[in-house]
Amino acid sequence: MTTGKQAEVQAQADERIAALISNANAVHSAAAAVAGTVGPKGLDTMLVDRNGETIITNDGITILTRMEASHPAARMLVNAARAQEEEVGDGTTTTTILAAAILSAAVAQVTRGVPVARVIEGVHLGVRHALQALEEQARPVGGIAEPVLRQVALVAGRGHADIADLVLTAAGMWGQEKFADPTFKLADCIFAEERAANEVFHGVVIQRERLDRDGPGAVAPVRLLVLDDALVPEELDQAALSTDVGFRRYIELVQEFRANIRKLAEIGVNLVVTDRSVDDWALEALTDAGVMVVHRVAMSEWRRVAEHTGARVVRRTALRKPAAELARYLGHAERACEDERLGHVRILGGQGKPMATVLVGAVTAEVVAERERIARDAAASVQAAIREGVVPGGGAIELHAARMVEQYGATVKGMAAYGVQCVADALRRPLWQIVANAGYNPLEKVGDVLVAQGEGGSSGIAVDCDTGELADMWLLGVVDPALVKRYALRTAGEIAEAILRIDTIIRMKGDRVDPPA
């Protein structure tokens, strides 16, 4: 090979390594933003926008999605964390730390001369074996009444006992069968309000006030119409209205609409929930008839209302149906009332599916937002634990998996073993960070735990962050949902492999947009 050709090949190799280092550094910077929050002694992060508005939080997904991430690799990591949040509701900080650690170890191997393809192969093998180790250590949860669920809620809820108790009470109200529904999310029943008292109740909340302040503030028993439409007369286009026939048709539609509104009162409707606007005449007529009207309700909320009360959601054309038929579409509940201080409407004791709502309160808006995030994390973790059991927390299970992966790596032939070692090294990082945040020497403590786990054969040994002593996390009640840990590791492995596969970074030219004709 000529000297010139050798130089060209070397330049291409240097460019590939430079791209990998750039991507790994971006992911490391994103991970550094959340690393200080992990563990019982983790601290908060303050996010500040251009207007000086601040968010103080310990929540990983909030930090990742709100911080300014301009590098493409960092945005890939943020998107992966967001996907984890949507799927299991927790574990985004662990995902970020593991992904950054795998990439850092991979960069070290590549710069030593290990081919990227072999590192990717080894990472894939290592993650797969680590997932197997996690599954083997998971302990099933017998049901909602299991005491271990409170420990799960406490750990995910950052030690807030009041929030843990609220979440568990709500879980009991929903019932075990509801958790078998793959579309159900316990976190969706969490609401936070400034100046509210903590409580759990049978019912649902609409985050809107009643439309007319002169209307009733409470109705009982409830006969409810849920309208996925605007409560207004049907419209005609301007061309039709400009003709005599069209204008007469418009008058007929208005008269028909008003007759339908009067029909609602006749069949005993006393609460109307609609996702759009309400005609002024209709509002006045309904108010005079003692009907509470709530408009512009979010889809997620009116769907819960319909499910809880047994209402059938209708369009406004359904109002033309005979009174007896329309009455069959109504929902029923014991009571509906507006809380004027908190600015929402509650529907209690629905005759449809039983539902529970958790109301979390605090003194200021900033604290309320953080308590809501904490409660949602606790709810998501409880649900994940019910689904797939629990594993020891505090970084213990990751270190156990690291030991198993390292043993497995000794059996892997060829240079893929270096990639397996990257996973083993990365799995030490969560405990390392937890110990560092607690103010202890992470090198010393991680080494001690490795020895203790190896000698005692327990996957639960880690560090008690209050005393600095080694302890069994099972006995301390420090447990995490197996599903969250498994998903975090799998996501971290996938994002690390995706970034390792990037060979070259090329800036795209701007898309050409032709001017409108």
- Taking 50 as the threshold, does the pLDDT of residue 513 lie above it? no
355 in the same domain as 222 = yes
Which residues pair with residue 470 across a beta bridge? 463
CATH number where 487 lies: 1.10.560.10
Pairing of strands 222-227, 271-274: parallel
Side chain identity at 270, as an amino acid letter? Answer: N
- Same structural domain for residues 133 and 166? no
User: Is 405 within the bounds of a domain?
Assistant: yes
pLDDT of residue 516: 45
What is the average per-residue pLDDT within 128-143? 93
Q: Please report the pLDDT score of residue 30 as a whole number.
A: 87
What mean pLDDT is predicted for residues 156-185? 89
Look at residues 373, 388, 403 and tell me which one is the last residue of a structural domain: 388
| CATH code of the domain covering residue 239 | 3.50.7.10
The residue among 506 and 420 whose pLDDT is bigger is: 420
For the chain, percent helix, then strand, then coil, each to nearest 5?
Answer: 55, 15, 30
| Arithmetic mean of pLDDT, 38-65 | 85
Confidence at residue 242, expressed as pLDDT on a 0 to 100 scale = 66
Domain of 258 in residue numbering reads as 203-361
Total structural domains within the chain:
3
**In this predicted structure, which of 67-71, 199-203, 315-319 has the lowest mean pLDDT?**
67-71
pLDDT of residue 507: 67
Q: Do 239 and 323 fall within a single domain?
A: yes
d(CA 118, CA 407): 19
The residue type at 452: A
Per-residue pLDDT for 498 more than 50?
A: yes
Residue 517 belongs to a domain: no
Is the pLDDT higher at 235 or at 93?
Answer: 93
Average pLDDT over residues 392-414: 94
2: in domain: no
Residue 370 and residue 267 share a domain: no
Do 251 and 311 lie in one domain? The reply is yes
pLDDT, position 517 = 41
The answer on pLDDT for 237 being more than 70 is no
Q: For residue 501, is pLDDT > 70?
A: yes
Same domain, yes or no: 383 and 401: no
Residue 207: exposed, middle, or buried by beta-carbon count in 10 A (0-12, 13-18, 19+)?
A: middle
Q: What long-range pairs does 4-13 form, CB within 8 A, spacing at least 24? A: none
Split at pLDDT 50, 70, 90, the class of 52 is: confident
CA 330, 331, 337, 340 torsion: positive or negative? negative
Are residue 227 and residue 328 in the same domain, yes or no?
yes
- Do residues 248 and 300 both lie within one domain? yes
On whether residue 115 sits in a domain, the answer given is yes
- Domain presence at residue 5: no
Mean pLDDT across 98-117: 92
Output the 3-class SS for 466-485.
CCCCEEEHHHHCCEEEHHHH
List, in order, residues 6 or more apart from 432 with CB less than 8 Å away.
395, 442, 443, 446
pLDDT tens-digit profile of 239-279?
A: 666 676 666 777 888 898 899 999 998 999 999 999 999 99
- The answer to the question of residue 515 being in a domain is no
Q: Looking at the structure, do residues 242 and 339 belong to the same domain, yes or no?
A: yes
| Mean pLDDT across 361-369 | 81
Instruction: Determine the Cα–Cα distance for residues 350 and 202; give it in Å rounded to an integer.
Output: 8
Please state, for a pLDDT cut of 90, what percent of the chain lies above it.
60
> If you average pLDDT over residues 138-157, what whole number do you get?
92
**Do both 345 and 400 map to the same domain?**
no
* pLDDT for position 97: 94
Statement: residue 8 has pLDDT above 60: no
Same structural domain for residues 436 and 373? Answer: no
In which band, very low, low, confident or very high, does the pLDDT at 206 lie, cut at 50, 70 and 90?
very high
Q: What is the mean pLDDT of residues 371-390?
A: 92
Position 169 in a domain: yes
Average pLDDT across the chain, whole number = 88
**Of 5-14, 254-263, 398-407, the least confident:** 5-14
Q: Which residue has the higher pLDDT, 48 or 514?
A: 48
Q: Which residues pair with 358 in a beta bridge?
A: 190, 200
**pLDDT tens, residue by residue, 110-119:** 988 899 999 9
pLDDT at 443 over 80: yes
**How far is C-alpha 197 from the geometric centre of its chain's CA atoms?**
24
Which pLDDT score is estimated for 248? 78
pLDDT at 515 over 50: no
- Position 20 scores a pLDDT of 85
What CATH code is carried by the domain that includes residue 167?
A: 3.30.260
**Residues 211, 343: one domain?**
yes
Q: Which two tokens stand for residue 159?
A: 């030690």
Of the pLDDT bands very low, low, confident and very high (cuts 50, 70, 90), residue 306 is: very high
Q: Is residue 439 in a domain? A: yes
Q: Residue 22: what pLDDT? A: 85
Give the pLDDT confidence score for residue 505 in this predicted structure.
63
Taking residues 308-321, report their average pLDDT: 92
